[in-house]
Amino acid sequence: MPPETLVTGQILSFAASPFGTPTPGDAAEVHEAVLIRDGKIAALGQAAALSAQAPQAQRVDLGDALICAGFVDAHVHYPQTAMIASWGKRLIDWLNAYTFPEEMRFGDPGYARGIADRYFDLTLANGTTTCVSYCTVHPASVTAFFEAAQARRVRAVAGKTCMDRNAPADLCDTAQSAYDQSKALLESWHGVDRLSYAITPRFSPTSTRDQLAALGALWGEHPDCLMQTHLSEQTDEIAWVRSLYPEARDYLDTYEAHGLLGARGLYGHAIHLEPRERDRLREVGAALIHCPTSNTFIGSGLFDMAARMAEGQRVGLATDTGGGSSFSMLRTMAAAYEIGQLTGTALHPAQLLWLATAGSAEALHMGGQIGNIAPGMEADLVALDLASTPAIAQRSARANDIWEALFPTIMMGDDRAVKRVWIAGVPI
């Protein structure tokens, strides 16, 4: 890798959140060039000025391609890679029919390595440069994921999924083993290279009070870690939680009572929230992770993005593969737009792109490292061809601004639109 690379194209950088800007498009700026030095963004600006500043830099001219931060997928299940797009089940049936049988295969470290490699190959081809994944109950599944991420130099977050009830015996641990194994994995991987550990109870129905308390204690001992789980995905799931935890005020209280509510908590789906839950999540600064293709594919419901943003929630965006039906964050943005329409708000292209980059990075408390193109940030980038298919090209040709040019790619684009990807300044 040359010490400096000068990339020219349409370099898009966010100066603010488009959800807090009267005209969302004004939250971003488009530059002619970006200078990458030693894996980080050194400067943005006019091509001639940056070329004069770094005359020895390797020049990469990408014409009219849009270059933005690499996509940040805030909630995935890499063990579900091979079973994506399995037909016709709601959440609980989905787990029993597809997820649990597949996850039992991850007791084989070789199988786990193969799926981890496949997962990263698929997601990098779609421009995703950071992901947050659930693994399985098997510690080897975490090792396989982190080793695959480390080999590709990507920034990644993951954790051992913990369950001690309401799951097949081969997928159950105990409160003590969940604590012990999670702690050992955390101590082995958290902060190594570009890797971070997430304490990971799957969700309240598959954990006893003792296990939730043990994981809450572990989080209290390592508060710099993220904690990921599921919350209020489906109405029948909420009823199940109510029957299992009759003393709880609501679903969120099953976590809160056991030390699993905090600013570094990532709560997947969070569709059917009670007023108290919304208030507490906002008060502590936790993140709600919107999984639009999964929510429609499994029939979970419609996340009200406009309402959540208006009340000041922190929100990230995610594919939720394999309950989600695509590895592509472009398709995920399109689904978020469609759900926005059904809930009464047409999300602007700037808002969609921000959710898939800076918004998700902020949800992970990594907004100073990834998710945007700004001096000092890690150079995880994606170049998008805004005319990757004839249908997209004929529409983008009529565009009056960058957002009209980008929107057809959001709505109709796939991996063909991903022209180039950089990981820490290195093209892959």
Q: What is the pLDDT of residue 87?
A: 87
Altogether, the residues listed in the chain come to a count of 428
In a domain, 352, yes or no: no
Residues 125 and 269 in one domain: yes
Has residue 1 got a pLDDT over 60? Answer: no
Residues 141 and 230 in one domain: yes
Taking residues 303-327, report their average pLDDT.
97
Site of tokens 């003792």: 210
- 269 strand-pairing partners: 231
| CA–CA gap between residue 278 and residue 232 (Å, rounded) | 11
- 255 strand-pairing partners: none
| Tens of pLDDT, residues 106-163 | 999 999 999 999 999 999 999 999 999 999 999 999 999 999 999 999 999 999 999 9
In a domain, 351, yes or no: no
Q: What is the pLDDT of residue 92?
A: 84
Residues 407 and 290 in one domain: no
Domain end, chosen from 307, 327, 347, is at 327
Residues 130 and 169 in one domain: yes
Residues 78 and 44 in one domain: no
Q: What is the pLDDT of residue 2?
A: 61
Task: Band the pLDDT of 227: cuts 50, 70, 90.
Answer: very high
Largest CA distance in the chain: 68
CATH code of 150's domain: 3.20.20.140
In a domain, 92, yes or no: yes
| Tens of pLDDT, residues 43-96 | 999 999 999 999 999 999 999 999 999 999 999 999 999 999 988 787 888 888
Domain end, chosen from 327, 359, 393, is at 327
Q: What is the pLDDT of residue 338?
A: 98
% of the chain exceeding 70 in pLDDT: 100
Token pair for residue 213? 């308390």
| CA–CA gap between residue 141 and residue 416 (Å, rounded) | 30
Q: Which domain holds residue 411?
A: 4-70+371-427
- Number of structural domains the chain divides into: 2
Domain end, chosen from 300, 327, 354, is at 327
Residues 273 and 207 in one domain: yes
Site of tokens 């490699």: 117
In a domain, 353, yes or no: no
Residues 64 and 76 in one domain: no
In a domain, 97, yes or no: yes
CATH code of 399's domain: 2.30.40.10
In a domain, 100, yes or no: yes
Residues 9 and 122 in one domain: no
Residues 141 and 43 in one domain: no
Residues 63 and 175 in one domain: no
Residues 199 and 284 in one domain: yes
